[in-house]
Amino acid sequence: MNLPNRLTVLRMVITPIFLAVFLAEAIPNHFLWGLLIYGVGCFTDFLDGKIARKQNIVTVFGQFADPVADKMLTTSALLALMQLGLCSIWIILVVLVREFAVTSMRLIASAQGIVIPANIWGKLKTVTQMVFTLVFLLCAHLRDCAIIPETFNLPLVSNIALGITAVLAVLSGIIYIKDAAKVIDINAK
């Protein structure tokens, strides 16, 4: 297994560790530790793609597993934020519906011998979601430390920002499905 694929697998392993630590109130500074673990996961996403492109070692495994690892990490973070009242369930639903739709198209294409890699819009959605999530995971820590006052409407701000990622998810999903429909046969047996 090459290094980019190992980093992808590491991101998958990091995901439940992040969620467990972030939500474990018995661990001192659990929000901060969770934020750091999530940050490492995000960095592996950046690093695996960069190494794969630079060394020209893009694999079918990487093309499929990398987006799945991203979805695992980003969805777990949205669930953590929802647990804290910082992310609406509707945002998560929109993001998940997009993810299932795009994954379904990729599976149909794969069954027809076609590999459809992530497009720039999907990458933009993922980066935006990761950045906003990092910000609000940090805000959870700062609120826990009383640096952000309780009077500041953090749930409203986080839901607006994460709502932007939901809009990008819909936009990128529509573009992805439209592009995928050009190369696959949805009536194939």
Q: What is the model's pLDDT at position 95?
A: 94
**pLDDT tier at 188, thresholds 50, 70, 90:** low
Cα gap 36→27, rounded to integer Å: 14
Question: What whole-number distance in Å separates Cα of residue 114 and Cα of residue 110?
Answer: 5
Choice between 24 and 126, residue whose per-residue pLDDT is larger = 24
* Selected residue with higher pLDDT from 63 and 20: 20
Q: Where are the alpha helices (DSSP H) in 84-153?
A: 89-111, 120-144
pLDDT digits (tens, 9 = 90+) for 105-145: 888 888 888 877 778 888 888 899 999 999 999 999 999 99
Other CB atoms within a 10 A radius of the CB of residue 167 amount to: 13
CA distance 87 to 163: 9
Name the pLDDT band for 90 (thresholds 50, 70, 90). Answer: very high
State pLDDT tens for residues 4-20.
999 999 999 999 999 99
